[in-house]
Structure 1
Amino acid sequence: MSGQTWQERVTSTWESARTDFIEEDERRLKDFAEHFRVPMDAVEGLCAWFYHEGYRYGLYEGGDQ
């Protein structure tokens, strides 16, 4: 082992996976924007709106019911 506690190893693995996931999402959003010829900020705004509405309608944990 590398001298890390199990908590440090889990955190490190989680952060690495999270970063990979975010980078893949960003690539997909850029591909979407290029394909439909829309500005990237418009795509990001639409994603934020959908996320907000998901919370509003209780689709995510902690949302209004």
Structure 2
Amino acid sequence: MSDTITAPATAPTTAPATSAPESRPATHVALPVELANGILNYLAQRPYGEVADLIRGMEATSVGVAP
């Protein structure tokens, strides 16, 4: 028996941005858990000041995100 994991034949589908709930701007997208965990692990290894600067930059350029 093989231990390899194969990807699905087709990419998962997502709902169109127009169907986003009113409480969530259409600029937000869902991330696969593995990708989200990878991003969090990367940020956890960075110095606090660097991560804070990155977040401030994201807040300054985000569209439709309440302060």
TM surpasses 0.5? no
Structure with the higher fraction of residues in helix conformation: 1
> Larger RCO: Structure 1 or Structure 2 (Cα < 8 Å, ≥ 6 residues apart)?
2
TM normalised by structure 1 equals 0.31
State TM-score, norm by structure 2.
0.31
